[in-house]
Amino acid sequence: MDTIFHEKQEGFLCAQHCLNALLQGPYYNAVDLASLAHQMDEEERIRMAESGVDSEDYKLFLEQPSGNMDDSGYFSVQVISSALKVWGLELIPYSSTEPAAIMAQNDPLQMKAYICNYKGHWFTIRKIGKQWFNLNSVLSGPELISDTYLSMFLAQLLQEGYSIFIVIGALPQCTADDVLSKNPIEPVKGQTSLTKPQGMSNVTSNTCRPVSSKEKISTNKPQEKIIPIKLEKNDEEDDENTELQRALQLSFEENKRNDVDKYLKLSLDFHDYNKKTNGSDDTDEDDDLRRALQLSLECATAPSTPESEDIHWRQLNHFGTYSRTSNGETSQKLNI
């Protein structure tokens, strides 16, 4: 990109930057363009004087400021056109009916360069080598414009109110043209910059970098790699987890035994209460039942065994409160 000549904006000297970008060299400065502007003002004054120096039109012309330049550094299209004539170049309005303009409208790639203007701001779009570049001085550097994007770029400029001129003629030979013909610019993938020349909406173009002839351009997309992540546990964490599980298991078993213990105690108390209330004479049967309840209570305080559940259900069935079906479900027993 260093081989492409590009002047950054200084004051209001965009006309100077535009011309030098087109010619690819520091061929003009503000003094040169001011001399051309004064020369054109003098030519216009001579033509107006032909109608009489005492005429109102001539007097009015002298009172008006120059239409070719001003103190800010603005220069008219006539000054730019006059500067290009030195190089045998000509400007034609893009929207005109000239044969070259119609050709450009149908296929902008057939031209060599364009000069654009909006409210006094000038910039150049030029083909260098086999590629197109936006050489606007308000940009940090030249920006690559793809062939497919060029027509859309010009169309957007027209929509934004820009005046576009086609440069007709042979452009002077430049070093950048020779270098980029052999080593074209490769757009850097995934990078875009939004440019907004004066009065123009944001437009997208690719940033660039030079590619040597020895450099291979790979079109393969980088493949994503999934790296497995292994979670490692240390020995201390394993011991702590094991001890915690044991503590929870013992707590669960202890609570279960306590619940059975409380229930059997309540069952025994309830049996004694019924015996006293009803005054039952079945002493032997009551004693057997009491011993069974006492035995169940003793078993409940010991570690759980498969027989403890059967004892629990036998006690419930004896009191006539619940009965257990063959499939293990419980149902309430009605005393009739």
Tell me how crowded residue 169 is: count the other CB atoms within 10 A of its CB: 14
Q: Is 38 a catalytic residue?
A: no
Q: Is 278 a catalytic residue?
A: no
List 272's β-bridge partners, or say none. Answer: none
- Token digits for 304? 């759980």
Q: How far is CA 246 from the centre of its chain?
A: 52
| Mean pLDDT, residues 311-323 | 54
Q: Parallel, antiparallel, or unpaired: how do β-strands 143-145 and 322-324 relate?
A: unpaired
* Residues 119, 198 contacting (CB under 8 angstroms): yes
Catalytic annotation, pick one of 20, 117, 134, 136: 136
Q: How confident is the model at residue 54 (pLDDT cuts 50, 70, 90)?
A: confident
> Is residue 37 exposed (0-12), middle (13-18) or buried (19+ Cβ within 10 Å)?
buried
- Token digits for 13? 């000297």
- Report field, pTM of the whole predicted structure over 0.85: no
Catalytic annotation, pick one of 121, 134, 206, 312: 121
Sign of the four-CA dihedral 15, 21, 22, 24: positive
More confident residue, 291 or 304: 291
- Token digits for 191? 């990078």
Which pLDDT score, from 0 to 100, does residue 65 have? 80
CA distance 26 to 44: 29
Half-sphere exposure of 336 (CA within 13 A, CB side): 3
Q: How confident is the model at residue 124 (pLDDT cuts 50, 70, 90)?
A: very high
Q: Please, where are the H alpha helices in the chain?
A: 14-23, 30-49, 56-63, 77-85, 99-106, 147-159, 175-182, 235-278, 283-301, 306-318
pLDDT digits (tens, 9 = 90+) for 81-98: 999 999 999 999 999 999
Which pLDDT score, from 0 to 100, does residue 231 have? 40
CA distance 6 to 136: 8
Q: Is 136 a catalytic residue?
A: yes
238 has a pLDDT exceeding 80: no
CA distance 178 to 128: 8
